């Protein structure tokens, strides 16, 4: 089978950072690099409170908007939550589900993550399913078993065909915010194993799905990662808050 050409996707996860001035500065500064690299899809995920401001700044921009989390419900008595349908009113295209900080700090189970994945898709959003192992699991050689378990729950809940409209972000927990990036070879090995796992169920879906790497990606490490056959972009935390670093990652795509 001929291999699909998958577009590189560079997505910034701003986490709990920013204010109105910073949102304006950062988005304004990213317009030129995003426009100059039309081959690279670029997205930013600001905190929910700034989605409206970001949407206005991104009018006629190639930069897409993402959200960092979503509730499993559409509406109702769920204080503090935000639904996928609400995001659609703000021009949101992507939503992160299962980020390790949600899994760890908010106790999100694989089943909860799968329900969020479905809620996002039901509203027409593209879920970005974050998966990855802890340092202890990495050292115990359990990486593949962990990511397969995390994928399995979504496949069981939503079907393999759901990955035709989804993105996967492989983010080893030991590399997130630590300054330790998995080497391109280590990351490629896991990405290839993820794709092979999906290909056992549906080769076409596996070939088409974008698998991003996340974990301390910087301008200096992006090109090496992106050169790998199964690494289709990056989910970026810390470096996404610095316009020049994020622009360098875009340029590497
Ligand atoms: C992330 O939070 O998804 C992430 C990859 O963060 P960082 O780039 O800071 O490691």
- C-beta separation of 221 from 182 below 8 A: no
Residue 76 Cα to ligand 1 middle (Å): 32
Query: What lines the ligand 1 site, CB under 6 Å?
Result: 13, 171, 176-177, 214-217, 235-239
Question: Which residues are known to be catalytic?
Answer: 99, 171
pTM for this model (two decimals): 0.97
Q: Which residue's alpha carbon is at the smallest distance from atom 4 of ligand 1?
A: 237
Q: How confident is the model at residue 2, as a pLDDT?
A: 52
**What does the buried/exposed string (b/e) look like for 166-193 if buried means 16 or more CB atoms within 10 Å of the residue's CB?**
bbbbbbbbbbbeeeebbebeebbbbbeb
Atom of ligand 1 nearest to the CA of 178: 10
Query: Which of 46, 238, 239, 245 to mutate for ligand 1's pocket (most ligand atoms within 8 Å of CB)?
Result: 238
Atom of ligand 1 nearest to the CA of 234: 5
Residue 238 Cα to ligand 1 middle (Å): 6
Whole-angstrom distance, CA of residue 219 vs CA of residue 236: 10
Alpha helices in the chain (DSSP H): 20-36, 51-57, 84-88, 100-105, 110-122, 135-139, 143-158, 184-199, 203-208, 219-226, 243-251
Q: Which residue's alpha carbon is at the smallest distance from atom 6 of ligand 1?
A: 237
Q: How confident is the model at residue 201, as a pLDDT?
A: 98
SS3 214: strand
Please give the structure tokens belonging to residue 99.
Answer: 């980020």
Return the residue matching tokens 């349908």: 85
Q: What is the mean pLDDT of each run of 10 residues along the chain (253 residues)?
A: 80 98 98 97 98 97 98 98 98 98 96 98 98 95 97 98 98 90 94 98 98 96 97 98 98 96
């Amino acid at each position: 089978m001929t291999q699909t050409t998958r577009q590189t996707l560079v997505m910034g996860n701003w986490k709990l950072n920013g204010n109105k001035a910073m949102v304006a500065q950062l988005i304004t500064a990213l317009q030129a690099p995003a426009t100059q690299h039309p081959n690279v899809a670029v997205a930013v995920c600001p905190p929910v409170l700034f989605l409206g401001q970001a949407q206005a700044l991104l009018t006629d921009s190639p930069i897409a908007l993402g959200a960092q989390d979503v509730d499993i419900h559409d509406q109702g008595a769920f204080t503090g939550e935000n639904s996928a349908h609400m995001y659609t009113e703000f021009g949101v295209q992507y939503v992160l589900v299962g980020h390790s900080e949600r899994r760890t700090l908010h106790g999100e189970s694989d089943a909860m993550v799968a329900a969020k994945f479905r809620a996002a898709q039901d509203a027409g959003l593209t879920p970005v399913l974050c998966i990855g192992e802890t340092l202890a699991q990495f050292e115990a050689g359990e990486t593949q078993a962990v990511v397969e378990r995390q994928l399995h729950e979504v496949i069981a809940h939503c079907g393999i065909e759901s990955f035709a409209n989804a993105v996967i972000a492989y983010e080893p927990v030991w590399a997130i915010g630590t300054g330790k990036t998995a080497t391109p070879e280590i990351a490629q090995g896991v990405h290839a194993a993820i794709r092979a796992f999906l290909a056992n169920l549906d080769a076409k879906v596996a070939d088409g799905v974008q698998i991003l790497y996340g974990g301390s990606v910087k301008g200096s490490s992006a090109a090496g990662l992106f050169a790998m056959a199964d690494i289709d972009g990056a989910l970026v935390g810390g470096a996404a808050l610095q316009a020049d670093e994020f622009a360098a990652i875009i340029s590497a795509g």
